[in-house]
Amino acid sequence: MGKQTIYGSQTSNTNWDNLEEALRDKVRQIIQNILEEEVMELLG
């Protein structure tokens, strides 16, 4: 049973790492879009 918990934890950590990476990418895209809009507004 202990091995299942360990493997389950590793899989869970992998899933959280993938989720974290996906969220970071999405936040980066949102910030990039906001910055581009602000620059375009400033430049006219």
Tens digit of each residue's pLDDT (9 = 90 or more) over 16-35: 889 999 999 999 999 999 99
**C-alpha 10 chain-centroid distance:** 19
Portion of the chain with pLDDT greater than 90, in percent:
59
Residue 37 has pLDDT above 90, yes or no: yes
Q: What is the 3-state secondary structure (H, E, C) of 1-44?
A: CHHHHHHHHHHHHHHHHHHHHHHHHHHHHHHHHHHHHHHHHHHC
Number of domains the chain contains = 1
Task: Say how far apart CA 25 and CA 31 lie, in whole Å.
Answer: 10
Q: What is the pTM for the complete model shown?
A: 0.64
Higher pLDDT, 11 or 36: 36
Higher pLDDT, 35 or 8: 35
- pLDDT for res 11: 77
Task: Say how far apart CA 25 and CA 35 lie, in whole Å.
Answer: 15
